Amino acid sequence: MIIVMNHDATEQEIDNVVKRLEEVGFKIHLSRGVERTVIGAVGDESKLNDVAIAAMSGVEKVLPITRPYKIASRDFKQEDTVVKVGNIEIGGGSLHVMAGPCAVESREQLLTAAEEVKKAGASILRGGAFKPRTSPYSFQGLGEEGLKLLAEAREVTGLPVVTEVMDASLLPLLCEYADILQIGARNMQNFFLLREVAKTDKPVLLKRGPAATIEEWLMAAEYILAGGNPNVILCERGIKGFDTYTRNTLDLTAVAVVKHLSHLPVVVDPSHAIGNWRFVHTMSVAAAAAGVDGLIIEVHPNPEKALCDGPQSLTPKKFARLMEDIKIVTDVMRNNRKKEE
């Protein structure tokens, strides 16, 4: 449930409500908006029969949250969540592009890619040090050496780094090097791992599973939010369809739906959704027009020699051209919003 406090409620009144709810076993999540403070209370609502929260000083109203995802819902927080990564704000009205190779293969490959994507306008560097692959014989990543190369690339370019965490045992190592922890599609419902990343202070990029419903996706985000980490970024990366021409089906409908249901920022991964570089440009522009908060795009200096996902990777030249078109779309949308205001 949520407790909406009066606009002039004092800190003491807010503290009193929080303490009373905690006394009967509720876990509390505070959301301070521009006009109102909202207290999210997660727990056994039957216990409220003996607690007159609505009668407490400073309380405007008490509302139930009917959706199974409580903290992730718009009922809990009307304002969009902004996730800060250094001086970058994801969800703050700008579109941020995360770009780089699927996997870190070598120092030369990574630094070349990092410098090229930064020059084209990317604000975050992506790259996998540990790679979950369908085949045990495929390239599995460089591990810690790959993380060290990502850290060097960050030092050279100034771009923060997003990389995937596959196992809870790797979290301490990943937290040393990564600015954003990525939970891959295969691990979206690895609830133990979700609970562990919730204990960190790192932003989490949560990819939608290939067969996950929107509700299941938001429930996975709820694990992280309920565990104490409010910095969750949702990532649509395609769902399984019946057609085999593309790798997956990019569900741009989910962008609009999730932005209606949840306050969390949403990014799109057209590279994994499509699996073919020819269509990444078009789908990236379409995602920008759909109002996403970011894109995560695979870029490789030499895709035909890539050890991982070469067929879906853009060359630096193609990526630069894409960034030009994304800027056109976002500028048009920004100007239209200004006219409406």
If pLDDT is split at 50, 70 and 90, which confidence band does 248 have?
very high
Global pTM reads: 0.89
Tell me if 130 sits within 8 A of 98, measured CB to CB.
no
Whether the per-residue pLDDT at 307 is higher than 70: the answer is yes
Question: In whole angstroms, what is the distance from residue 221 CA to residue 2 CA?
Answer: 18
Number of H helices, E strands in the chain: 10, 14
- pLDDT tens digits, one per residue of 81-135: 999 999 999 998 899 999 999 999 999 999 999 999 999 999 999 999 987 777 7
In angstroms, the first-to-last Cα distance of the chain is 33
Q: What is the mean pLDDT of the chain?
A: 92
Question: In whole angstroms, what is the distance from residue 286 CA to residue 296 CA?
Answer: 14
C-alpha atoms less than 13 angstroms from C-alpha of 139 in its C-beta half-sphere? 16
What phi and psi values does residue 288 have, to the nearest 5 degrees?
-60, -40
If pLDDT is split at 50, 70 and 90, which confidence band does 44 have?
confident
What phi and psi values does residue 279 have, to the nearest 5 degrees?
-105, 0
Q: What is the DSSP string of 243-274?
A: --SSSSB--THHHHHHHHHB-S-EEE-HHHHH
The H or E element containing residue 17 is helix 11-23
The whole-number pLDDT of residue 184 equals 95
Stretch 153-176: mean pLDDT? 96
Max CA separation in the chain (angstroms): 67
Stretch 253-261: mean pLDDT? 96
The H or E element containing residue 99 is strand 96-100
Tell me if 298 sits within 8 A of 311, measured CB to CB.
no
What phi and psi values does residue 60 have, to the nearest 5 degrees?
-85, -50
Stretch 45-49: mean pLDDT? 69
What phi and psi values does residue 143 have, to the nearest 5 degrees?
65, -135
Whether the per-residue pLDDT at 190 is higher than 80: the answer is yes
Which domains can be identified in the chain, with CATH numbers? 2-63 (3.30.70.1140), 83-340 (3.20.20.70)
If pLDDT is split at 50, 70 and 90, which confidence band does 24 have?
confident
The whole-number pLDDT of residue 35 equals 76
Least confident of 22-31, 112-121, 182-191, 196-205: 22-31
The whole-number pLDDT of residue 134 equals 73
Is 322 in a helix, a strand, or coil? helix
- pLDDT tens digits, one per residue of 205-219: 999 999 999 999 999
The whole-number pLDDT of residue 140 equals 77
The first and second tokens of residue 282, run together, are: 């078009």
Say which amino acid occupies 285: V
Question: In whole angstroms, what is the distance from residue 142 CA to residue 287 CA?
Answer: 31
Question: In whole angstroms, what is the distance from residue 159 CA to residue 117 CA?
Answer: 10
Whether the per-residue pLDDT at 137 is higher than 70: the answer is no
The H or E element containing residue 13 is helix 11-23
The whole-number pLDDT of residue 66 equals 79
